[in-house]
Amino acid sequence: MNEKPVYIYMESNISPFEKTGKAGFVMEYVTDSKLRPTLSKILDIHNMTAQQADIYMLTVALSHIVKPCKLIICPDKWWLEKGFSQRKDWEAAGYADDKGNEIKDALAWQMLFALLDKHEVTILPDQNHEYRSWLKNEVKKTA
């Protein structure tokens, strides 16, 4: 596993009441030199909740990582961290809630977890970072 971390910074403008907006990420690879290669994407989101957009955005970001690494994910909201903390309970219950109903977006969560399993993952929600202002401005722009 690569000892240098890859950071994924995430931001969206989708409110809990809307299903349209923009979401973006900056992925930064830490190297020994002062050079810090980055990749950024801003995605137009349609017919997705904010949670679905975050799962989708993280899946897109992960598709660019080909080797296992230390991954530090910095979403702008807390629900990804909550989902990660509930993973073992969801798996034990067959991705069902306390009443036996399938949890929302169960398949998307399972796919995301499968992509993350090869990495050492840390989630740090709502962090200030050097890309935050740029990301916020980019997701505010209209399509």
Number of domains in the chain: 1
Amino acid at 35: L
Look at residues 111, 60, 62, 61 and name the one whose alpha carbon lies nearest to residue 83: 111
Neighbours of 138 (CB within 10 A): 18
Q: How far apart are CA 42 and CA 137, in angstroms?
A: 11
The whole-number pLDDT of residue 113 equals 95
Q: In terms of pTM, does the model score above 0.95?
A: no
Q: Please state, in angstroms and as integers, the Cα–Cα distance from residue 83 to each residue in 68, 90, 136, 140, following that order.
A: 21, 9, 23, 26
The whole-number pLDDT of residue 142 equals 60
Q: Which domain holds residue 75?
A: 2-140
Domain of 26, CATH number, reads 3.30.420.10
> Sorting pLDDT into bands at 50, 70 and 90, what band is 117?
very high
